[in-house]
Amino acid sequence: MTLFPCTTRRHAFAQFLVCASGCCCGRTDKGKPAVPVSRLKTEWRARRLNPRVQLTIAECLGPCDLVNVVAVFSDDDPIWLGGLVEEQSFVELVLWATASRDASQLLPLPPTLQPHRFQRFTAPPPSPELL
C-alpha cells in the first residue's frame, strides 16, 4: 500500500497561508500592523498564481506574538515567517510566489524575507521545577 493513497486533481507545488485574523495578525483595531489582504488577493488573481501557488487567508496559525505570520508549504520543509509589519514584505511575498510559479517550483526564500524566518516547532524550555 502506498504511503499516500489519497490524491487530488488540484496540483499545487506551494501554498502560502497568511494569518489575517485572530488575536493579533492584522488587528489594526488593537494597534497591530495591517495585513494587506485585499491587495494580496488582487495581486494573486492578477498574476494568476492560483492554483499552482495557492493563497490561503487564514485565521490564527499559533505563534501570535510574531504578529503577521505566514507559513509556506511545499514538498520541502515548511517555511514560517513572522513580524511582517512592512507592506514591502508582502510585496516580496508576491514577487517570490510569482517567480516560483514561473520556475514551476518553490524557489529559495528571498534574502529580504530571511530575517523574518523562525522555527515553528521546538521543545519547550525545561520547567523550573524540573531543574
Candidates 14, 17, 53, 61; binder of ligand FES (CB under 6 A) is 61
Segment interacting with ligand FES (CB under 6 A) among 7-15, 61-69, 73-81, 104-112: 61-69
Phi, psi of 115 (to 5 degrees): -65, -15
The cell numbers describing 130, all together, are: 524540573
Q: Which of 24, 70, 79, 97 binds ligand FES (CB under 6 A)?
A: 24
Name the residue among 86, 45, 50 with its Cα closest to residue 68.
Answer: 86
Residue closer to ligand FES by CB (options 60, 107) is 60
SS3 29: helix
Q: How far apart are CA 25 and CA 23, in angstroms?
A: 7
In the complex, minimum distance from the CB of residue 44 to ligand FES, in angstroms, rounded to a whole number: 19
Residue from 42, 48, 51, 62 touching ligand FES (CB under 6 A): that is: 62
Tally Cβ neighbours within 10 Å of residue 122: 7
25 is a site residue for ligand FES (CB under 6 A): yes
**Does 70 help bind ligand FES (rule: CB under 6 A)?**
no
Q: Report phi then psi at 57, rounded to 5.
A: -85, 120
Show the cell assigned to 129.
521545577
Q: Which helix (H) or strand (E) holds 58?
A: strand 53-58
Could you tell me which stretch among 44-52, 55-63, 92-100, 118-126 binds ligand FES (CB under 6 A)?
Answer: 55-63
37 touching ligand FES, by CB under 6 A: no
- Residue ranges in contact with ligand FES by CB under 6 A: 19, 22-25, 60-64, 69
